[in-house]
Chain A
Amino acid sequence: MAEESRPPGSLGFPDPGPARFASVPDVRERLAETGYLADEGTAGVVYLADRLAKPVLVEGPAGTGKTELAKAVAWATSSRLIRLQCYEGLDESKALYEWNYKKQLLRIQAQRVVDDDGHGDGASSATRWHDIEDDIFSEEFLLARPLLEAIRASEPVVLLVDEVDRLELETEALLLEILSEYQVSIPELGTVRAQRVPLVFLTSNNTRELSEALKRRCLYLHLDYPTLEREREIIKTRVPAITGELADQVARIVRSLRTLELKKYPSVSETLDWARTLVVLGIESVDAEQAKATLHVLLKYRSDLERAAKELSAEGSPTGAGSASV
């Protein structure tokens, strides 16, 4: 893995390699096969990411399928998914690479044993030192962490950097070289370049503003709550046991809930949990009472629950956000 000399790409656009997807509809179809229903925009951005060889920064409320998207793309392109879960305090040795100290120590110890056994040759100690140094800073002693692993992989990979907003601002800089050049510089070894540009997804829950430098290198995708029609389809796909009527009702009730002023809106994953709950309970058609009894699957705050229960059973009063917003 010595430095591979290659003429720089055409003005900052790395060579994307052969296309993973034929067209935007192709993206949608192949994602749908994995059970992920992408809308036009999502599929379009995935397609562009592949063609432009750019990472995708996915933002949006919790539980709208950001991580799921990366998994689905990995599955659809039959790539290996390499995942880096970010957290506060993540550093180079956990994200990029680390030298295997223990093995290096062992190697030096072993050398000493060999020396002691053999006849100590004072003159060549300097050259031996060099040998050892070259040896212990070779790939054998390198522990590849997710980022380096994704770059070195010879098979197709999808790299998922999850919850990148949990990193400190300074640590974000770790990602920059990888995201724009698809390479990692290791001082002792040289630069490792990707043989094939991986598809990279970064997800963020938007708990802080990411740095401009990071955003600039990415395509931006905002995943919001799905439309009624799409949510209904998602429910049908993910909860096959559900009847069409119930799926429709679930989607409509969830949409109504999202028009209320709540602390936390029901996410897609919570909607699916709710649909599953209803199916398990053998409910064919939800009425207000049943909805109220199972709402805690959807909503996680007491004040939200109270408000939703009140709104759902309100007898025909136009207090809803619907009429007010027209």
Chain B
Amino acid sequence: MLDVLTGFVSELRQAGLLISPTESLDAAEALHHVRLEDREALKYALGATLVKSSSHWRAFETAFEVYFSIRGPQFDIEATEPGVPGGEQPTRDGNGSGRGAGGGEALSEEALAEMLYRALLSANDAQVAALARQAVSRYAGMEAGRPVGGTYYLYRTLRSLELDRLLERMVAAVRSQVPEGHLTGLEERLARDELASRLNRLRKEIEDEIRRRLVADRGVEALARSLRKPLPEDIDFMHATHDELVALRRAVQPLARKLAVRLARKRRHGRKGPLDFRSTLRHSLSTGGVPVDPKFRYPRPAKPEIFVIADDSGSVAAFARFTLHLVYAISSQFSKVRSFVFVDGIDEVTRFFERADDVEEAVYRISTEANVLWVDGHSDYGHAMSVFWERWGEEVTSRTSVLLLGDARNNYHASQAWVLSEIRRRARHLYWLNPEPRSYWGSGDSVIGEYAPHCDGVFECRNLRQLEQFVGQLAS
């Protein structure tokens, strides 16, 4: 067990979690107090001692599933051999599907779909699990020894099962059960959510099954390595998958809140102001009138004004939106925030944020309503810059910090870098955040090299961690 534990801990460290030796000692100690065959108990014992942040839970879960997947009593590897019907139940109940019952014979596709449908509809968890295993052996087409993480197998299995159609069919079945054959909107919605959550459970069963087989095939360490996913704060903006973007969106909100709290505190406690005579005197009462503990006023430092100018084209857009999101979430830390987005044309989008009380919605409206196209919809930094200077240049003052977001891939248009030097002359600061890795800068049509000399700083900003760091500095 100790070997497994140390392997598990080092896997978690590889995945980016900080785990101190004390914590792994705690984990080992905790294992004395749980029954090792109880997988759930094992999971919370390890979770409580090793994982100290809820955003790391997913990484922990993945690693846990891999390391401890085939240890449950009900998962003897025998039953997962292809061709053998997954469990015992599907052959016995599951009304009218006696066809698939024959000894070593697999179910036909229709029978499998039909049984799955019935099992899901009647919420028979054990049977759903058994059928999930059947579906995997039937559809996933797993090949031994291939160094993959299983996403492809999952995709193949799910595609063959056609879950969307299954859902519609089940909703229709629920509908036909009510006397008038008509559900109110609310009832239909509740039924749909219930069925969808059952389908999610099925999906999880399938995932687990695939993982179990992969572990059996390739061993724990190898699989853990290919399954390792970055923590939300380390996801690269430019290459995030759809799921990762969702994870990012969820991570931004708490991050912004934390940042706002931290900055507000720093502002209050950063420096001490002049002596507060009245308060000092009041507090001296408890020491018999001797002012032992002088009190100071809080200083009221000036808040900076922020102009955000963001490239909203293609792959950079996600980055621009996260940055806007973050800046607006802490807008109480700035005296004024104005935002502009451009592709080849440029438009001010401050109005969206002012009207909507929901940042999420404002960001969404930018993509649908802002007028950012000029000619062909390919980034043209030069044109966007010069239009900005013409229309809003006057409003940049010595209290303004200007923030430029983009990869500076200019499609070989003129860079018009002079605009930046003009802006810098008027503004307090001019920063550029680039979501590309530093090593790509200046390659191909990237003209960041032409802009950089005119900026007070150019920063690589590829993930939330870097973004948070920068925004924190900006506001303090």
Q: Is B188 an interface residue (CB 8 A)?
A: yes
Task: Kindly state the separation between the CA atoms of A66 and B30 in the bound complex, as whole angstroms.
Answer: 22
Residue of B nearest to A249 (CB): B190
Minimum CB–CB distance for A24 against chain B, Å: 7
Residue of A nearest to B43 (CB): A41
Task: Kindly state the separation between the CA atoms of A258 and B137 in the bound complex, as whole angstroms.
Answer: 35
Contact across chains for B23 and A261 when beta carbons are under 8 A apart:
no
Contact across chains for A41 and B185 when beta carbons are under 8 A apart:
no
Contact across chains for A52 and B33 when beta carbons are under 8 A apart:
yes
Contact across chains for A311 and B189 when beta carbons are under 8 A apart:
yes
Contact across chains for A220 and B52 when beta carbons are under 8 A apart:
yes
Q: A48-B30, A59-B54, A256-B193 are in contact. Are A209 and B48 (CB under 8 A)?
A: no
Q: Can you list, as one digit per residue, whether each of A253-283 has a CB less than 8 Å from chain B (1) or not (0)?
A: 1011001010100000000000000000000
Residues of B within 8 A of A47 (CB): 33
- B80-88, B254-262, B315-323, B415-423 - the one binding chain A: B254-262
From A101, A311, A322, give the contact of B196 (CB < 8 A): A322
Contact across chains for A323 and B22 when beta carbons are under 8 A apart:
no
Residues of B within 8 A of A41 (CB): 40, 43-44, 47
Q: Can you list, as one digit per residue, whether each of A287-308 has a CB less than 8 Å from chain B (1) or not (0)?
A: 1100100000000011100000
Task: Kindly state the separation between the CA atoms of A100 and B32 in the bound complex, as whole angstroms.
Answer: 46
Minimum CB–CB distance for A298 against chain B, Å: 14
Contact across chains for B257 and A52 when beta carbons are under 8 A apart:
no
Q: Is A26 an interface residue (CB 8 A)?
A: no
Q: A222-B57, A320-B196, A323-B164 are in contact. Are A40 and B358 (CB under 8 A)?
A: no
Residues of B within 8 A of A40 (CB): 40-41, 44
From B34, B51, B184, B360, give the contact of A220 (CB < 8 A): B51
Please list the residues of chain B having a beta carbon within 8 angstroms of any beta carbon in chain A: 18, 20, 22-23, 25-26, 29-30, 33-34, 40-41, 43-45, 47-49, 51-54, 57, 163-164, 167, 183-186, 188-190, 192-197, 199-200, 203, 254, 257-258, 261-262, 265, 269, 286-288, 357-358, 360-361
Contact across chains for B190 and A326 when beta carbons are under 8 A apart:
no
Minimum CB–CB distance for A243 against chain B, Å: 17
Task: Kindly state the separation between the CA atoms of A93 and B197 in the bound complex, as whole angstroms.
Answer: 51
Q: A52-B29, A208-B258 are in contact. Are A263 and B358 (CB under 8 A)?
A: yes
Q: Is A187 an interface residue (CB 8 A)?
A: no
Contact across chains for B41 and A44 when beta carbons are under 8 A apart:
yes
From A168, A206, A256, A325, give the contact of B269 (CB < 8 A): A168
Task: Kindly state the separation between the CA atoms of A32 and B43 in the bound complex, as whole angstroms.
Answer: 22
Q: Can you list, as one digit per residue, whether each of A304-326 has a CB less than 8 Å from chain B (1) or not (0)?
A: 00000001111110101011011
Residues of A within 8 A of B188 (CB): 315-316
Known: A13-B29, A322-B197; 8 extra A-B contacts, CB below 8 A, are A41-B43, A52-B26, A207-B258, A209-B258, A252-B193, A253-B190, A256-B193, A325-B200
Contact across chains for A44 and B34 when beta carbons are under 8 A apart:
yes
Contact across chains for B54 and A54 when beta carbons are under 8 A apart:
no
Please list the residues of chain A having a beta carbon within 8 angstroms of any beta carbon in chain B: 12-13, 24, 40-41, 44-45, 47-48, 51-52, 54, 56-57, 59-60, 88, 101-102, 105, 168, 206-209, 212, 215-216, 218-222, 228, 249, 252-253, 255-256, 259, 261, 263, 286-288, 291, 301-303, 311-316, 318, 320, 322-323, 325-326
From A24, A206, A215, A323, give the contact of B167 (CB < 8 A): A323
Minimum CB–CB distance for B246 against chain A, Å: 9
Minimum CB–CB distance for A73 against chain B, Å: 15
Minimum CB–CB distance for B468 against chain A, Å: 11
Residues of B within 8 A of A206 (CB): 54, 254, 258
Contact across chains for B164 and A313 when beta carbons are under 8 A apart:
no
Residues of A within 8 A of B199 (CB): 326
Most buried by B among A220, A286, A303, A320: A220
**5 smallest beta-carbon distances between A and B, as pairs:** A322-B196, A215-B52, A288-B186, A41-B44, A219-B48
